[in-house]
A and B are shown apart, each in its own frame.
Chain A
């Protein structure tokens, strides 16, 4: 059984169709990178996987649980699907430690002590243990994003979703975030990553999806995608971003 199973989903914003009949699968331990020009629907696609964007057609199964079924407890499901946002979205009024523990206590019903221990353990893994009592506004962008990753990991997720995790960062901070993500991938975490960082894709991705105008037009193993994509559109895109 695939960890994430997306079956023929479509989504409209009013009359604008954001996703057109998209299907793909992510196996356990697999790293999937999604790329494509801006406005192609890649961010929408990843947000449908934990139900932040509702879909009008199709079906999504996460670990065998249907997202569209009204019986599904969405908060419980989301608690086990980690998500990292483009703009970090740490809660600015809570300290780093409180950011890490809030959902553990309120959703997973862990004790404060247990949640704190878990949170700090992951904070150490992203190398920011000494920042535990600071507030998000006092950290750099790269540090904030690493805290956001630690926040998602401390919920013990079964898979992780990354929505352009480095595109709001200054260039010198991108690598510190990518390093954390690479380590995570190498440890066998199931990951879906929307990114333009092709270096990251080459290094750890198993498969790459290329999207355009709401459609998935390439879904290939990494070697094939970088070697010889099937469509001209994907080739053009690759030429543009790999030129530099």
Chain B
């Protein structure tokens, strides 16, 4: 193959002024993790609320939640990213839009990226929470109510603790997804891991080395996430409860 291998490139100075090429990649990794983890936390909270809303007796709340889920699931992530970055600032009141446009890098792209990924992922979490609640027997809810717990308490103490245990494997893959999806933020100028590898390739022409490194880092993140979630699954496992015994999703 007509290719000049040069694996020591990582220890050479990068023209972006961040130190070596390795530093460039690690900086990218840092922004990948910051973006993905903030979005994951927001999506978990928001998704739980929307998902629970979908199962409430109120028709209106259930419809609102359904519309929310459909809206964020049926528009490509990249298009949503553009909407948050280019379109939203035009419509924010009180000059907030101008403030958003004036944010310095990386904040100017980080804020819309986190917002975008949070809403996008929350719709998917909501769907899983909804499916989890539906999968429980109706008797659990009735038993909670029959003991005199009100609806909020029944969700808080009976339904949700069960649902989170049941959907932990799918939440694991959702966490992986949000980490992978954060790469889409490179289109609005966030130098996260994939963008950093791309930049390294442009400066140094060492395509193969740059992308191999990025790939390895993603795989390592993946393994770490799986190990952490396995540990969590063991921690919350309940003896004799089927929901937690399901085979964990290895990598997805």
Give me the interface of A with B, judged by CB distance under 8 Å: 47, 50, 52, 75-81, 83, 85-87, 89-93, 102-103, 106-108, 134-139, 151-152, 155
B17 at the interface (CB under 8 A from A): no
Please give me the residue from chain A that is nearest to B137 by CB atom: A87
Say whether B139 contacts A106, CB under 8 Å.
no
Within 8 A of A (CB), among B133-164: 137, 139-140, 142-150, 153, 157-158, 161-162
Say whether A50 contacts B146, CB under 8 Å.
yes
Say whether B143 contacts A92, CB under 8 Å.
no
B238 at the interface (CB under 8 A from A): yes
Say whether A52 contacts B145, CB under 8 Å.
yes
B241 at the interface (CB under 8 A from A): yes
Q: List 14 A-B contacts (CB under 8 A).
A: A47-B142, A83-B146, A85-B143, A85-B146, A87-B137, A90-B143, A92-B238, A102-B157, A135-B239, A136-B241, A137-B239, A137-B241, A137-B242, A138-B239
The smallest C-beta distance from B215 to any residue of chain A, in angstroms, reads 39
The interface residues of chain B lying within 8 Å CB-to-CB of A75 are 145, 148-150
The smallest C-beta distance from A10 to any residue of chain B, in angstroms, reads 21
Say whether B148 contacts A107, CB under 8 Å.
yes
The smallest C-beta distance from B89 to any residue of chain A, in angstroms, reads 45
Given A79-B147, A91-B140, A106-B157 contact (CB < 8 Å) = yes
Say whether B142 contacts A85, CB under 8 Å.
yes
A175 CA / B184 CA spacing, docked (Å): 63
Say whether B161 contacts A85, CB under 8 Å.
no
Size category, B interface: 20 to 34
B240 at the interface (CB under 8 A from A): yes
Say whether A103 contacts B147, CB under 8 Å.
yes
- The residue among A78, A81, A91, A135 with the most chain B CB atoms within 10 A of its own CB is A91
The interface residues of chain B lying within 8 Å CB-to-CB of A137 are 238-242
The 8 Å CB contact of A78, one of B145, B239, B240, B242, is B145
Given A79-B148, A91-B158, A106-B149, A135-B240 contact (CB < 8 Å) = yes
A152 CA / B147 CA spacing, docked (Å): 7
Within 8 A of A (CB), among B9-50: none
Please give me the residue from chain A that is nearest to B243 by CB atom: A92
The interface residues of chain B lying within 8 Å CB-to-CB of A79 are 147-148
B165 at the interface (CB under 8 A from A): yes
A90 CA / B165 CA spacing, docked (Å): 16
Shortest 9 CB-CB distances between A and B: which pairs? A137-B240, A79-B148, A89-B143, A103-B147, A83-B146, A107-B148, A92-B241, A89-B139, A138-B240
Given A75-B148, A107-B149, A134-B239, A93-B143 contact (CB < 8 Å) = no
The smallest C-beta distance from B85 to any residue of chain A, in angstroms, reads 42
- The residue among A92, A134, A138 with the most chain B CB atoms within 10 A of its own CB is A92
Q: A80-B148, A91-B143, A102-B147 are in contact. List 15 more A-B contacts (CB 8 A).
A: A52-B142, A75-B145, A78-B147, A79-B147, A81-B146, A83-B146, A85-B139, A89-B143, A103-B149, A106-B149, A135-B238, A138-B239, A139-B240, A152-B147, A155-B148
The interface residues of chain A lying within 8 Å CB-to-CB of B161 are 93
A138 CA / B148 CA spacing, docked (Å): 26
A134 CA / B238 CA spacing, docked (Å): 10
A136 CA / B143 CA spacing, docked (Å): 14
The smallest C-beta distance from B60 to any residue of chain A, in angstroms, reads 19
A107 CA / B241 CA spacing, docked (Å): 26
The interface residues of chain B lying within 8 Å CB-to-CB of A107 are 147-149, 153
The smallest C-beta distance from A118 to any residue of chain B, in angstroms, reads 14
The 8 Å CB contact of A76, one of B140, B148, B158, B242, is B148
Please give me the residue from chain A that is nearest to B161 by CB atom: A93
A50 CA / B147 CA spacing, docked (Å): 10
Please give me the residue from chain A that is nearest to B157 by CB atom: A102
